[in-house]
A = this chain, B = another copy of it.
Amino acid sequence: MQIGELARSTGVKIETIRYYEREQLLPVPQRTDGNYRLYSPRHVEQLRFIRYCRSLDMSLEEVRLLIEARDAPAGSCLTVNALLDEKIAEVDARVNELHKLQDQLRQLRGLCQQPDEVKTCGILMELNRSARIDKAQI
């Protein structure tokens, strides 16, 4: 299987696949006589594994750890547990932040319902006011 087919069958861009190889997340593939990469079903699985982890918001470094743990013949999965717990905490924190942000943005948007002139626009007035009293620091 050439790189184009791998890309089509996984929905991952060709350049990204080559990038993962450079980053040692995908094993080095065989080559044809014309120097084209040749992939096996094992590569397909590994690539899907990487993309699934990425869809769970893991960094490539974390994916590397998971691959290592997965390939360890009889290691403990403490690492995996810790990684997931950390990730869950991160996501929870980010959601809380974004909820606050939603409130702030909606409140701000409420200050200018009809397109007015800049000099009387409630949004810009509030942006300036907030900046002056340094709301962001609280």
Contact = CB atoms under 8 A, between A and B. Distances in A.
A111 B136 CA distance: 40
A137 B12 CA distance: 11
A45 interface: yes
Nearest to A66: B127
Interface string A95-138: 10011011011101100100111110101100110111011110
A84 interface: yes
Nearest to A109: B84
A70 interface: yes
Q: What bracket does the count of chain A residues touching chain B fall in?
A: 35 or more
A80 interface: yes
A102 B90 CA distance: 10
Give this chain's copy count: 2
B80 A123 contact: yes
B69 A88 contact: no
A76 interface: yes
B88 A49 contact: no
Given A101-B56, A118-B75, A81 B95 contact: no
A76 B116 contact: yes
Given A74-B117, A127-B66, A136 B51 contact: yes
A52 interface: yes
Across the A-B interface, the 5 shortest Cβ-Cβ residue pairs: A77-B121, A49-B131, A55-B136, A48-B131, A52-B131
